Amino acid sequence: MTTQDSFYRELGRRVYRARVDNGLTQDELAKLVRLSRTSITNIEKGRQKLLAHTVADLAKALHIPCTNLYPSVQEQPDAVDNIDVYLKGAPAAVRQFAKSALSRSQARKT
């Protein structure tokens, strides 16, 4: 499994946990963020790559900060330094958004 795969698998696990904590079905969450239920399934399994605005939409629907969906730096110690590897092929703005969110997450934990 690549580093990018583990990043998206953990992000998906966090979406799943937040969805369950909010008492939502995949179909209900999908309607809130204007995606298909299949997309939610694929996100939760780490199979679907997400754009920054999709992460923001999910976080809003789940009533949590975007940073709660990103794997923490403690779980992925090199995450900030290697975000370009995790998000290879993603637009620079998406990589910068993720790097900023992870950096803020790391700062809060110290």
Tally of domains in the chain: 1
CA distances for 37 relative to 16, 42, 88, 107, angstroms: 13, 9, 26, 35
Domain that holds residue 102: 3-109
Please state the pTM of the whole predicted model: 0.67
Task: Give the domain CATH number at 13.
Answer: 1.10.260.40
Q: What is the pLDDT of residues 49-107, one digit of tens each?
A: 999 999 999 999 999 999 899 886 445 545 556 666 667 777 788 777 877 777 776 56
Confidence grade of residue 109 (pLDDT, cut at 50, 70, 90): low
pLDDT value at residue 105:
64
Residue with the bigger pLDDT between 8 and 101: it is 8
CB 50 within 8 A of CB 11: yes
